[in-house]
Amino acid sequence: MPQHFTVAHLIAQLQNLDPTLQVRLAVNPDFPFAHYVGTDVIVHNGTAYLGEDGQEGYLPPAVRDHLAWS
What number is the average pLDDT over the span 42-50? 88
Please tell me the number of Cα atoms within 13 Å of 16 on its side-chain side. Answer: 3
Domain contains 2: no
Query: How far apart are the C-alpha atoms of 12 and 24, rounded to whole Å?
Result: 17
For the segment 37-55, the average pLDDT, to the nearest whole number, is 89
Per-residue pLDDT band at 12 (split at 50, 70, 90): very high
- 32 lies in a domain? yes
Asked, for residue 56, whether it belongs to a domain, the answer is yes
Q: Which domain holds residue 16?
A: 7-66
Contact 53, 70 (CB under 8 A): no
Domain count, the chain: 1
Quick check: 53 and 69 in contact, CB under 8 A? no
Instruction: Extract long-range pairs of 66-69: CB within 8 Å, 24+ residues apart.
Output: 67/26, 67/28, 67/32, 69/26, 69/28, 69/32
